[in-house]
Amino acid sequence: MKKILVIHGPNLNLLGEREKEIYGQTTLAEINARLEDLATPHQVALKIVQSNHEGEIVDAIGQAKKDHIDAILINPAAYTHTSVAIRDAILAVHLPCVEVHLSNIYAREDFRHTSLIAPVSYGQISGFGVDSYLLGLKALMNLLNHNDH
């Protein structure tokens, strides 16, 4: 069974309450349930982490190999644009990673147009709401099934 680490960054615990015009009404629990619904029939286990703290996200990534993780799906949220530490952790573990965002970060404020995570990821999916997560998970499952990493 393949195992994928799903990381939700800062403030994503507030989904469904915050800036609904940008992030929609879907809660983090609902996103997690949809991810599980997609993964389970494909015999993929998910380890899901949400943290508002950069160091906890770095620790989760660093622990991935010990936890027998095969790939990482990450929405680094605001840390996308600022965290060299998360970028370096992803690079260090040598696991396929897909970066996702609910909103289109390139259609928002200029400071959101630069991702420090994208260059160390297989790809980035943004702007499709919850579907960004589902598309990212599908991409990782395809990568793992085809050993293209």
For residue 74, the cross-strand partners are 7, 99
CA 96 to chain centre: 11
Q: Is 36 exposed, middle or buried (0-12, 13-18, 19+ CB in 10 A)?
A: middle
Alpha-helical runs (H) found in the chain: 20-23, 28-39, 54-62, 84-93, 130-146
Instruction: Catalogue the active-site residues.
Output: 23, 101
Angle between helices 28-39 and 130-146 (to 10 degrees): 30
Cα–Cα distance measured from residue 39 to residue 138, given in angstroms and rounded to the nearest whole number:
8
**What tokens does 91 get?**
């690079």
